[in-house]
Structure 1
Amino acid sequence: MQPIDVSERVWERMLAVRQGRACACCGHWSPREAEAIALYGPLARRDLGPVTVAQIGQSLDGRIATVTGDARDVSGPDGLAHLHRMRALVDGVVIGVRTALHDIPRLTVRLCPGPNPARIVVDPRGRLPDDAPLLQADGARRIVIQSVDRARAPGIEVIRLPAEDGLIDPAAVLEALHDAGLSTLMIEGGGITISRFLEAGLLTRLQVAIAPLLIGGGQQGLTMPSPTEKLADAIRPDTRVFSLGSDVVFDCGLNADAQAAIEAVHDRPRRSAAP
Protein backbone atom coordinates (compact mmCIF):
# COMPACT_ATOMS: atom_id res chain seq x y z
CA MET A 1 0.00 0.00 0.00
CA GLN A 2 1.36 3.39 -1.01
CA PRO A 3 -0.13 6.90 -0.89
CA ILE A 4 -2.42 7.72 -3.78
CA ASP A 5 -1.50 10.62 -6.04
CA VAL A 6 -4.50 12.71 -6.99
CA SER A 7 -2.59 14.75 -9.53
CA GLU A 8 -4.25 17.53 -11.49
CA ARG A 9 -4.62 15.31 -14.56
CA VAL A 10 -6.07 12.45 -12.48
CA TRP A 11 -8.70 14.73 -10.99
CA GLU A 12 -9.53 16.26 -14.36
CA ARG A 13 -10.11 12.73 -15.63
CA MET A 14 -12.37 11.85 -12.68
CA LEU A 15 -14.52 14.94 -13.24
CA ALA A 16 -14.71 14.10 -16.95
CA VAL A 17 -15.80 10.54 -16.09
CA ARG A 18 -18.48 11.97 -13.81
CA GLN A 19 -19.76 14.06 -16.72
CA GLY A 20 -19.73 11.09 -19.10
CA ARG A 21 -16.97 12.59 -21.25
CA ALA A 22 -14.21 10.04 -20.52
CA CYS A 23 -13.58 6.54 -19.24
CA ALA A 24 -11.72 5.51 -16.10
CA CYS A 25 -9.78 2.63 -17.62
CA CYS A 26 -7.62 4.24 -20.30
CA GLY A 27 -4.41 6.27 -20.10
CA HIS A 28 -0.90 5.88 -18.81
CA TRP A 29 -0.45 6.70 -15.16
CA SER A 30 2.16 6.43 -12.45
CA PRO A 31 1.50 3.66 -9.89
CA ARG A 32 0.22 6.19 -7.38
CA GLU A 33 -2.02 7.88 -9.94
CA ALA A 34 -3.41 4.49 -10.94
CA GLU A 35 -4.28 3.83 -7.29
CA ALA A 36 -6.15 7.14 -7.14
CA ILE A 37 -8.16 6.21 -10.23
CA ALA A 38 -8.90 2.79 -8.73
CA LEU A 39 -10.29 4.52 -5.61
CA TYR A 40 -12.37 7.26 -7.24
CA GLY A 41 -13.19 5.73 -10.63
CA PRO A 42 -16.04 3.45 -9.47
CA LEU A 43 -17.83 6.41 -7.86
CA ALA A 44 -17.28 8.78 -10.80
CA ARG A 45 -19.01 6.48 -13.29
CA ARG A 46 -22.65 7.08 -14.17
CA ASP A 47 -23.24 4.14 -16.50
CA LEU A 48 -23.72 1.37 -13.93
CA GLY A 49 -26.98 2.48 -12.37
CA PRO A 50 -27.72 4.01 -8.95
CA VAL A 51 -24.91 3.98 -6.37
CA THR A 52 -25.17 4.69 -2.66
CA VAL A 53 -21.89 5.09 -0.80
CA ALA A 54 -21.41 5.92 2.87
CA GLN A 55 -18.27 7.60 4.18
CA ILE A 56 -17.22 7.93 7.79
CA GLY A 57 -14.03 9.26 9.33
CA GLN A 58 -12.91 7.86 12.68
CA SER A 59 -9.98 7.34 15.03
CA LEU A 60 -7.93 4.18 15.49
CA ASP A 61 -10.17 3.23 18.40
CA GLY A 62 -13.35 3.65 16.36
CA ARG A 63 -14.49 7.05 17.67
CA ILE A 64 -15.96 9.87 15.60
CA ALA A 65 -16.11 12.42 18.44
CA THR A 66 -14.84 13.03 21.97
CA VAL A 67 -16.97 12.67 25.10
CA THR A 68 -17.84 16.38 24.75
CA GLY A 69 -18.97 15.90 21.15
CA ASP A 70 -15.93 17.52 19.49
CA ALA A 71 -15.73 15.91 16.03
CA ARG A 72 -14.17 18.63 13.93
CA ASP A 73 -10.57 17.34 13.72
CA VAL A 74 -11.02 13.55 13.68
CA SER A 75 -9.88 13.29 10.06
CA GLY A 76 -6.46 14.51 9.01
CA PRO A 77 -5.95 16.98 6.13
CA ASP A 78 -5.79 14.23 3.51
CA GLY A 79 -8.90 12.59 4.94
CA LEU A 80 -10.77 15.89 4.66
CA ALA A 81 -9.57 16.38 1.07
CA HIS A 82 -10.81 12.86 0.30
CA LEU A 83 -14.24 13.69 1.72
CA HIS A 84 -14.50 16.79 -0.47
CA ARG A 85 -13.51 14.76 -3.54
CA MET A 86 -16.26 12.31 -2.70
CA ARG A 87 -18.75 15.18 -2.46
CA ALA A 88 -17.65 16.46 -5.87
CA LEU A 89 -18.26 13.08 -7.50
CA VAL A 90 -21.77 12.35 -6.17
CA ASP A 91 -25.13 13.85 -7.12
CA GLY A 92 -26.20 14.42 -3.53
CA VAL A 93 -25.02 14.18 0.08
CA VAL A 94 -27.38 12.93 2.79
CA ILE A 95 -27.10 13.58 6.53
CA GLY A 96 -29.40 13.14 9.50
CA VAL A 97 -30.86 16.12 11.32
CA ARG A 98 -28.84 15.50 14.50
CA THR A 99 -25.62 15.85 12.54
CA ALA A 100 -26.97 18.96 10.84
CA LEU A 101 -27.87 20.57 14.20
CA HIS A 102 -24.72 19.54 16.07
CA ASP A 103 -21.94 19.88 13.49
CA ILE A 104 -23.50 22.75 11.48
CA PRO A 105 -21.92 21.49 8.22
CA ARG A 106 -21.97 23.27 4.87
CA LEU A 107 -21.60 20.09 2.76
CA THR A 108 -19.91 22.07 -0.03
CA VAL A 109 -16.82 21.28 -2.12
CA ARG A 110 -13.98 23.54 -1.03
CA LEU A 111 -10.78 21.46 -0.94
CA CYS A 112 -10.76 20.41 -4.60
CA PRO A 113 -12.22 21.56 -7.92
CA GLY A 114 -15.68 20.22 -8.66
CA PRO A 115 -19.40 20.91 -8.36
CA ASN A 116 -21.30 21.19 -5.12
CA PRO A 117 -23.68 18.24 -4.64
CA ALA A 118 -27.32 18.51 -3.72
CA ARG A 119 -27.54 18.84 0.07
CA ILE A 120 -30.12 16.59 1.70
CA VAL A 121 -31.12 16.38 5.35
CA VAL A 122 -33.43 13.72 6.79
CA ASP A 123 -35.45 15.72 9.31
CA PRO A 124 -38.64 13.84 10.29
CA ARG A 125 -39.95 16.46 12.74
CA GLY A 126 -38.82 19.53 10.80
CA ARG A 127 -36.35 20.71 13.43
CA LEU A 128 -33.66 22.18 11.18
CA PRO A 129 -34.06 25.97 10.80
CA ASP A 130 -34.16 27.41 7.30
CA ASP A 131 -31.11 29.56 8.01
CA ALA A 132 -28.87 26.52 8.62
CA PRO A 133 -25.66 26.77 6.54
CA LEU A 134 -26.46 23.72 4.43
CA LEU A 135 -29.80 25.26 3.40
CA GLN A 136 -28.31 28.53 2.14
CA ALA A 137 -28.76 29.27 -1.56
CA ASP A 138 -25.61 28.86 -3.67
CA GLY A 139 -26.94 27.21 -6.83
CA ALA A 140 -26.95 23.63 -5.49
CA ARG A 141 -30.20 21.84 -4.73
CA ARG A 142 -31.30 21.85 -1.09
CA ILE A 143 -33.71 19.12 -0.01
CA VAL A 144 -35.36 18.42 3.34
CA ILE A 145 -37.02 15.04 3.84
CA GLN A 146 -39.60 15.42 6.58
CA SER A 147 -42.80 13.91 7.90
CA VAL A 148 -44.47 17.04 9.24
CA ASP A 149 -46.44 19.61 7.28
CA ARG A 150 -43.94 22.44 7.60
CA ALA A 151 -43.36 25.04 4.90
CA ARG A 152 -39.77 25.84 3.96
CA ALA A 153 -38.11 28.95 2.56
CA PRO A 154 -38.35 29.48 -1.21
CA GLY A 155 -35.88 27.32 -3.12
CA ILE A 156 -35.75 24.55 -0.51
CA GLU A 157 -37.33 21.36 -1.84
CA VAL A 158 -39.46 19.36 0.58
CA ILE A 159 -40.08 15.63 0.31
CA ARG A 160 -42.82 14.38 2.64
CA LEU A 161 -42.44 10.79 3.81
CA PRO A 162 -44.14 8.98 6.70
CA ALA A 163 -42.22 8.24 9.89
CA GLU A 164 -42.54 5.37 12.31
CA ASP A 165 -41.35 5.97 15.89
CA GLY A 166 -39.82 9.22 14.67
CA LEU A 167 -37.75 7.53 11.92
CA ILE A 168 -38.14 7.54 8.15
CA ASP A 169 -37.49 4.28 6.29
CA PRO A 170 -34.07 4.52 4.53
CA ALA A 171 -35.44 2.61 1.51
CA ALA A 172 -38.18 5.23 1.12
CA VAL A 173 -35.54 7.97 1.31
CA LEU A 174 -33.52 6.40 -1.51
CA GLU A 175 -36.57 5.80 -3.68
CA ALA A 176 -37.69 9.41 -3.28
CA LEU A 177 -34.23 10.78 -4.11
CA HIS A 178 -33.94 8.56 -7.18
CA ASP A 179 -37.36 9.85 -8.29
CA ALA A 180 -35.97 13.37 -7.79
CA GLY A 181 -33.21 12.64 -10.31
CA LEU A 182 -30.35 11.89 -7.88
CA SER A 183 -28.81 8.49 -8.55
CA THR A 184 -25.31 8.62 -7.05
CA LEU A 185 -25.63 9.45 -3.36
CA MET A 186 -23.31 9.67 -0.38
CA ILE A 187 -24.56 9.09 3.16
CA GLU A 188 -22.13 11.29 5.09
CA GLY A 189 -23.43 11.16 8.62
CA GLY A 190 -23.85 10.67 11.30
CA GLY A 191 -22.94 7.20 12.42
CA ILE A 192 -26.53 6.29 13.29
CA THR A 193 -27.85 7.33 9.86
CA ILE A 194 -25.08 5.40 8.09
CA SER A 195 -25.74 2.34 10.26
CA ARG A 196 -29.45 2.35 9.38
CA PHE A 197 -28.70 2.40 5.64
CA LEU A 198 -26.05 -0.30 6.13
CA GLU A 199 -28.30 -2.62 8.12
CA ALA A 200 -31.09 -2.16 5.57
CA GLY A 201 -28.75 -3.49 2.86
CA LEU A 202 -28.98 -0.25 0.86
CA LEU A 203 -25.30 0.64 0.54
CA THR A 204 -23.26 -0.16 -2.54
CA ARG A 205 -20.05 0.85 -0.83
CA LEU A 206 -18.88 1.85 2.64
CA GLN A 207 -15.70 3.87 3.10
CA VAL A 208 -14.13 4.03 6.55
CA ALA A 209 -11.32 6.59 6.74
CA ILE A 210 -9.12 6.03 9.79
CA ALA A 211 -6.90 8.74 11.24
CA PRO A 212 -3.91 7.84 13.45
CA LEU A 213 -5.18 9.12 16.77
CA LEU A 214 -6.61 7.57 19.94
CA ILE A 215 -9.52 9.39 21.56
CA GLY A 216 -10.27 6.96 24.39
CA GLY A 217 -13.99 7.67 24.69
CA GLY A 218 -16.90 9.33 22.96
CA GLN A 219 -19.27 8.42 20.16
CA GLN A 220 -18.59 5.20 18.27
CA GLY A 221 -18.45 5.31 14.48
CA LEU A 222 -20.96 2.63 13.52
CA THR A 223 -23.51 1.06 15.85
CA MET A 224 -26.01 -1.18 14.11
CA PRO A 225 -29.64 -1.00 15.28
CA SER A 226 -29.69 -4.82 15.43
CA PRO A 227 -26.07 -5.95 15.95
CA THR A 228 -25.07 -9.50 15.13
CA GLU A 229 -24.53 -11.89 18.03
CA LYS A 230 -22.21 -14.27 16.17
CA LEU A 231 -19.08 -13.41 14.23
CA ALA A 232 -20.12 -15.99 11.66
CA ASP A 233 -23.08 -13.73 10.83
CA ALA A 234 -21.08 -10.50 10.62
CA ILE A 235 -20.88 -8.52 7.38
CA ARG A 236 -17.59 -9.33 5.62
CA PRO A 237 -17.31 -6.96 2.67
CA ASP A 238 -14.84 -7.15 -0.20
CA THR A 239 -12.32 -4.58 0.98
CA ARG A 240 -9.58 -2.55 -0.64
CA VAL A 241 -7.17 -0.38 1.37
CA PHE A 242 -5.69 2.92 0.22
CA SER A 243 -3.25 5.30 1.89
CA LEU A 244 -4.45 8.88 1.64
CA GLY A 245 -1.33 10.21 3.36
CA SER A 246 -2.50 11.40 6.76
CA ASP A 247 -5.30 8.80 6.84
CA VAL A 248 -6.01 5.28 5.57
CA VAL A 249 -9.31 4.46 3.86
CA PHE A 250 -10.95 1.05 3.80
CA ASP A 251 -13.15 0.89 0.69
CA CYS A 252 -15.74 -1.84 1.25
CA GLY A 253 -17.88 -3.27 -1.53
CA LEU A 254 -21.22 -4.48 -0.22
CA ASN A 255 -22.97 -5.93 -3.27
CA ALA A 256 -22.45 -7.19 -6.80
CA ASP A 257 -22.78 -3.68 -8.25
CA ALA A 258 -19.76 -2.57 -6.23
CA GLN A 259 -17.66 -5.41 -7.61
CA ALA A 260 -18.82 -4.70 -11.18
CA ALA A 261 -17.73 -1.06 -10.84
CA ILE A 262 -14.28 -2.12 -9.61
CA GLU A 263 -13.86 -4.60 -12.43
CA ALA A 264 -14.85 -1.96 -14.97
CA VAL A 265 -12.09 0.34 -13.71
CA HIS A 266 -9.66 -2.51 -13.08
CA ASP A 267 -9.31 -3.28 -16.68
CA ARG A 268 -7.20 -1.27 -14.88
CA PRO A 269 -5.67 2.17 -15.50
CA ARG A 270 -2.42 1.43 -17.30
CA ARG A 271 0.63 2.24 -15.27
CA SER A 272 3.68 3.91 -16.74
CA ALA A 273 7.16 3.27 -15.46
CA ALA A 274 7.18 6.62 -13.68
CA PRO A 275 7.51 6.40 -9.88
Structure 2
Amino acid sequence: MLRFLKPKPPELFFIRGYAKSGTNWLCNLMNLHPQVRCCGEFHFPTLFRGLLGEQEDLAALLKKNENRPILEDRLHQMIRDLVVDVCGPARLCGDRTPCPLRSLIIPDSKTLYITRDGRDAMVSWTYHSMNLDIEEWPEMKAKVKQVQADPNYFETHKNELLSCEQSVRAFAAQWNAVVCDDFDVMRAADRGEIPLDYHWVRYEDLHRDTLARRDEIYRFLNLKPKQAQPLTAKTEAGFGNGKTNRPHHFYRRGCAGTWQEYFTDEQRNWFESEASEALQLVAA
Protein backbone atom coordinates (compact mmCIF):
# COMPACT_ATOMS: atom_id res chain seq x y z
CA MET A 1 0.00 0.00 0.00
CA LEU A 2 2.82 2.40 0.86
CA ARG A 3 4.23 2.16 -2.64
CA PHE A 4 1.20 4.03 -3.94
CA LEU A 5 1.82 7.03 -1.69
CA LYS A 6 3.31 9.97 -3.53
CA PRO A 7 6.35 11.60 -1.92
CA LYS A 8 5.78 15.08 -0.55
CA PRO A 9 6.99 17.80 -2.93
CA PRO A 10 9.99 19.83 -1.73
CA GLU A 11 9.17 22.78 0.50
CA LEU A 12 10.36 26.28 -0.35
CA PHE A 13 12.09 28.80 1.88
CA PHE A 14 13.86 32.12 1.42
CA ILE A 15 16.79 33.86 3.09
CA ARG A 16 16.44 37.63 3.12
CA GLY A 17 18.36 40.55 4.57
CA TYR A 18 20.27 43.63 3.49
CA ALA A 19 23.48 43.12 1.52
CA LYS A 20 26.46 42.08 3.69
CA SER A 21 24.21 41.27 6.64
CA GLY A 22 25.10 37.58 6.83
CA THR A 23 22.78 36.01 4.25
CA ASN A 24 25.65 33.97 2.79
CA TRP A 25 26.74 32.74 6.20
CA LEU A 26 23.16 31.80 7.09
CA CYS A 27 22.82 29.92 3.80
CA ASN A 28 25.99 27.93 4.51
CA LEU A 29 24.70 27.09 7.98
CA MET A 30 21.40 25.82 6.59
CA ASN A 31 23.22 23.66 4.07
CA LEU A 32 24.84 21.71 6.91
CA HIS A 33 21.53 19.86 7.26
CA PRO A 34 21.15 16.87 4.90
CA GLN A 35 17.54 17.79 4.11
CA VAL A 36 18.36 21.34 2.98
CA ARG A 37 19.74 22.71 -0.25
CA CYS A 38 19.93 26.50 -0.42
CA CYS A 39 21.43 28.44 -3.35
CA GLY A 40 21.91 32.05 -4.26
CA GLU A 41 21.40 34.46 -5.72
CA PHE A 42 18.22 34.03 -7.78
CA HIS A 43 17.10 37.69 -7.56
CA PHE A 44 13.50 36.73 -8.23
CA PRO A 45 12.10 40.19 -7.34
CA THR A 46 13.79 41.60 -10.45
CA LEU A 47 12.40 38.79 -12.60
CA PHE A 48 8.97 39.13 -11.02
CA ARG A 49 8.80 42.87 -11.69
CA GLY A 50 9.99 42.34 -15.24
CA LEU A 51 7.37 39.72 -16.03
CA LEU A 52 4.58 41.82 -14.58
CA GLY A 53 5.83 44.85 -16.47
CA GLU A 54 5.64 42.99 -19.77
CA GLN A 55 1.89 42.74 -19.35
CA GLU A 56 1.52 46.39 -20.37
CA ASP A 57 1.29 45.21 -23.98
CA LEU A 58 -1.41 42.59 -23.40
CA ALA A 59 -4.43 44.89 -23.65
CA ALA A 60 -4.55 44.90 -19.86
CA LEU A 61 -6.15 41.43 -19.89
CA LEU A 62 -3.92 40.07 -17.16
CA LYS A 63 -4.02 43.35 -15.25
CA LYS A 64 -7.73 43.05 -14.53
CA ASN A 65 -8.48 42.48 -10.87
CA GLU A 66 -10.07 39.10 -11.49
CA ASN A 67 -7.06 37.89 -13.49
CA ARG A 68 -4.28 39.30 -11.34
CA PRO A 69 -4.40 36.45 -8.78
CA ILE A 70 -4.15 33.93 -11.62
CA LEU A 71 -1.05 35.64 -12.99
CA GLU A 72 0.61 35.88 -9.60
CA ASP A 73 -0.21 32.25 -8.78
CA ARG A 74 1.42 31.07 -12.02
CA LEU A 75 4.49 33.20 -11.37
CA HIS A 76 4.72 31.87 -7.82
CA GLN A 77 4.57 28.31 -9.15
CA MET A 78 7.26 29.09 -11.71
CA ILE A 79 9.51 30.37 -8.93
CA ARG A 80 8.86 27.24 -6.87
CA ASP A 81 9.73 25.04 -9.82
CA LEU A 82 12.91 26.99 -10.59
CA VAL A 83 14.21 26.81 -7.02
CA VAL A 84 13.49 23.09 -6.77
CA ASP A 85 15.00 22.33 -10.18
CA VAL A 86 18.18 24.30 -9.42
CA CYS A 87 18.62 23.38 -5.75
CA GLY A 88 17.02 19.94 -5.49
CA PRO A 89 16.63 17.19 -4.79
CA ALA A 90 16.06 18.04 -1.13
CA ARG A 91 13.18 18.21 1.29
CA LEU A 92 13.70 21.97 1.67
CA CYS A 93 14.95 24.08 -1.22
CA GLY A 94 15.95 27.67 -0.56
CA ASP A 95 16.73 30.91 -2.35
CA ARG A 96 19.29 33.20 -0.76
CA THR A 97 18.98 36.69 -2.17
CA PRO A 98 19.77 39.84 -0.13
CA CYS A 99 16.69 41.92 -0.88
CA PRO A 100 13.74 43.57 0.90
CA LEU A 101 11.03 41.35 2.38
CA ARG A 102 8.30 43.19 0.52
CA SER A 103 9.88 42.57 -2.87
CA LEU A 104 8.57 39.02 -3.11
CA ILE A 105 6.32 37.05 -0.76
CA ILE A 106 5.36 33.51 -1.77
CA PRO A 107 2.41 32.06 0.20
CA ASP A 108 2.98 28.75 2.01
CA SER A 109 6.74 29.24 2.20
CA LYS A 110 9.01 30.19 5.09
CA THR A 111 11.41 33.12 5.25
CA LEU A 112 14.58 33.53 7.29
CA TYR A 113 15.34 37.21 7.85
CA ILE A 114 18.74 38.31 9.15
CA THR A 115 19.75 41.78 10.32
CA ARG A 116 23.16 43.19 11.12
CA ASP A 117 24.34 46.48 12.57
CA GLY A 118 24.33 48.73 9.52
CA ARG A 119 27.73 50.14 10.39
CA ASP A 120 29.31 46.68 10.21
CA ALA A 121 27.40 46.05 6.99
CA MET A 122 28.78 49.29 5.56
CA VAL A 123 32.39 48.36 6.30
CA SER A 124 31.85 44.96 4.70
CA TRP A 125 30.04 46.44 1.69
CA THR A 126 32.72 49.08 1.16
CA TYR A 127 35.43 46.44 0.96
CA HIS A 128 33.23 44.27 -1.25
CA SER A 129 32.45 47.07 -3.69
CA MET A 130 36.07 48.19 -3.85
CA ASN A 131 37.24 44.64 -4.56
CA LEU A 132 34.69 44.39 -7.38
CA ASP A 133 35.51 47.93 -8.57
CA ILE A 134 31.85 48.99 -8.59
CA GLU A 135 32.16 52.18 -6.56
CA GLU A 136 30.41 55.23 -8.05
CA TRP A 137 31.59 58.22 -6.01
CA PRO A 138 34.83 59.81 -7.36
CA GLU A 139 36.44 59.76 -3.93
CA MET A 140 35.66 56.06 -3.59
CA LYS A 141 37.04 55.31 -7.05
CA ALA A 142 40.33 56.77 -5.86
CA LYS A 143 40.23 54.42 -2.88
CA VAL A 144 39.77 51.47 -5.25
CA LYS A 145 43.13 52.29 -6.81
CA GLN A 146 44.70 52.36 -3.37
CA VAL A 147 43.30 48.90 -2.60
CA GLN A 148 44.44 47.54 -5.93
CA ALA A 149 47.95 48.75 -5.20
CA ASP A 150 47.90 47.57 -1.59
CA PRO A 151 45.00 45.32 -0.40
CA ASN A 152 45.90 46.07 3.22
CA TYR A 153 46.07 49.86 2.85
CA PHE A 154 42.83 50.55 4.75
CA GLU A 155 43.79 48.10 7.48
CA THR A 156 46.74 50.32 8.32
CA HIS A 157 44.72 53.50 7.64
CA LYS A 158 41.31 52.40 8.94
CA ASN A 159 39.88 55.87 9.54
CA GLU A 160 40.33 56.69 5.86
CA LEU A 161 38.06 53.87 4.65
CA LEU A 162 34.81 55.79 5.24
CA SER A 163 36.01 59.36 4.73
CA CYS A 164 33.60 59.93 1.80
CA GLU A 165 30.60 61.61 3.43
CA GLN A 166 28.39 61.14 0.35
CA SER A 167 29.03 57.40 0.33
CA VAL A 168 28.39 56.96 4.05
CA ARG A 169 25.18 58.97 4.03
CA ALA A 170 23.87 57.28 0.87
CA PHE A 171 24.46 53.77 2.23
CA ALA A 172 23.02 54.66 5.64
CA ALA A 173 19.88 56.22 4.17
CA GLN A 174 19.19 53.26 1.91
CA TRP A 175 19.90 50.73 4.65
CA ASN A 176 17.60 52.62 6.99
CA ALA A 177 14.76 52.74 4.45
CA VAL A 178 14.96 49.04 3.61
CA VAL A 179 15.28 47.82 7.19
CA CYS A 180 12.44 50.05 8.42
CA ASP A 181 10.20 48.74 5.65
CA ASP A 182 11.20 45.16 6.43
CA PHE A 183 10.04 45.67 10.01
CA ASP A 184 6.78 47.18 8.75
CA VAL A 185 6.29 43.99 6.71
CA MET A 186 7.00 41.76 9.72
CA ARG A 187 4.57 43.74 11.86
CA ALA A 188 1.93 43.39 9.14
CA ALA A 189 2.59 39.64 9.07
CA ASP A 190 2.17 39.51 12.85
CA ARG A 191 -1.25 41.13 12.40
CA GLY A 192 -2.20 38.55 9.77
CA GLU A 193 -2.27 41.09 6.94
CA ILE A 194 0.55 39.51 4.90
CA PRO A 195 1.10 35.76 4.29
CA LEU A 196 4.69 35.88 5.54
CA ASP A 197 5.85 33.05 7.81
CA TYR A 198 9.19 34.40 9.02
CA HIS A 199 11.93 33.90 11.58
CA TRP A 200 14.15 36.87 12.45
CA VAL A 201 17.71 36.35 13.62
CA ARG A 202 20.28 38.99 14.50
CA TYR A 203 23.76 38.55 13.05
CA GLU A 204 25.19 39.45 16.44
CA ASP A 205 23.19 36.71 18.21
CA LEU A 206 24.15 34.17 15.55
CA HIS A 207 27.78 35.16 16.04
CA ARG A 208 27.54 34.93 19.84
CA ASP A 209 25.96 31.44 19.93
CA THR A 210 25.98 29.96 16.45
CA LEU A 211 24.80 26.46 17.30
CA ALA A 212 21.89 27.55 19.50
CA ARG A 213 20.60 30.09 16.98
CA ARG A 214 21.13 27.68 14.08
CA ASP A 215 19.15 24.97 15.85
CA GLU A 216 16.29 27.42 16.53
CA ILE A 217 16.12 28.07 12.80
CA TYR A 218 16.17 24.36 11.99
CA ARG A 219 13.21 23.84 14.31
CA PHE A 220 11.38 26.73 12.62
CA LEU A 221 11.89 24.83 9.35
CA ASN A 222 10.60 21.63 11.03
CA LEU A 223 14.01 19.99 10.88
CA LYS A 224 15.83 17.94 13.51
CA PRO A 225 18.99 19.81 14.56
CA LYS A 226 20.79 16.63 15.63
CA GLN A 227 20.88 15.48 12.00
CA ALA A 228 23.02 18.46 10.95
CA GLN A 229 26.73 18.22 10.26
CA PRO A 230 29.25 19.96 12.57
CA LEU A 231 30.27 23.54 11.94
CA THR A 232 33.03 24.07 9.39
CA ALA A 233 35.56 26.84 8.78
CA LYS A 234 33.02 28.58 6.52
CA THR A 235 30.18 28.29 9.03
CA GLU A 236 31.88 29.05 12.34
CA ALA A 237 31.66 32.63 13.58
CA GLY A 238 34.57 34.60 12.15
CA PHE A 239 35.11 31.84 9.59
CA GLY A 240 36.89 29.74 12.19
CA ASN A 241 39.32 32.44 13.28
CA GLY A 242 38.04 35.78 14.53
CA LYS A 243 41.50 37.30 14.17
CA THR A 244 41.68 36.58 10.45
CA ASN A 245 41.21 39.63 8.24
CA ARG A 246 41.52 39.21 4.48
CA PRO A 247 40.55 42.56 2.91
CA HIS A 248 40.65 41.22 -0.66
CA HIS A 249 38.65 38.05 0.11
CA PHE A 250 34.86 37.49 -0.09
CA TYR A 251 34.98 35.88 3.36
CA ARG A 252 36.87 38.86 4.72
CA ARG A 253 36.39 38.78 8.47
CA GLY A 254 32.92 37.75 9.66
CA CYS A 255 32.90 39.58 12.99
CA ALA A 256 30.45 41.73 14.91
CA GLY A 257 31.13 45.21 16.23
CA THR A 258 34.37 45.82 14.35
CA TRP A 259 32.87 48.92 12.73
CA GLN A 260 34.24 50.81 15.73
CA GLU A 261 37.76 50.25 14.40
CA TYR A 262 36.95 52.15 11.19
CA PHE A 263 34.44 54.91 11.98
CA THR A 264 35.67 58.22 13.34
CA ASP A 265 33.24 60.15 15.55
CA GLU A 266 32.39 62.39 12.60
CA GLN A 267 31.77 59.44 10.26
CA ARG A 268 29.63 57.77 12.92
CA ASN A 269 27.52 60.92 13.16
CA TRP A 270 27.02 60.92 9.38
CA PHE A 271 25.74 57.37 9.49
CA GLU A 272 23.59 57.66 12.59
CA SER A 273 21.95 60.89 11.45
CA GLU A 274 20.63 58.97 8.43
CA ALA A 275 19.88 55.62 10.06
CA SER A 276 18.97 56.12 13.72
CA GLU A 277 15.55 54.46 13.35
CA ALA A 278 16.85 51.25 11.79
CA LEU A 279 19.72 51.06 14.29
CA GLN A 280 17.16 51.03 17.08
CA LEU A 281 15.06 48.38 15.33
CA VAL A 282 17.96 45.97 14.95
CA ALA A 283 19.05 46.75 18.53
CA ALA A 284 22.48 47.92 17.44
**Interval of TM-score (by shorter of Structure 1 and Structure 2):** 0.3 to 0.5
Calculate the TM-score normalised by the size of structure 2.
0.33
TM-score by length of 1: 0.34
Pick 1 or 2: higher relative contact order, CA cutoff 8 A, min separation 6: 1
- Structure ranking higher in strand proportion: 1
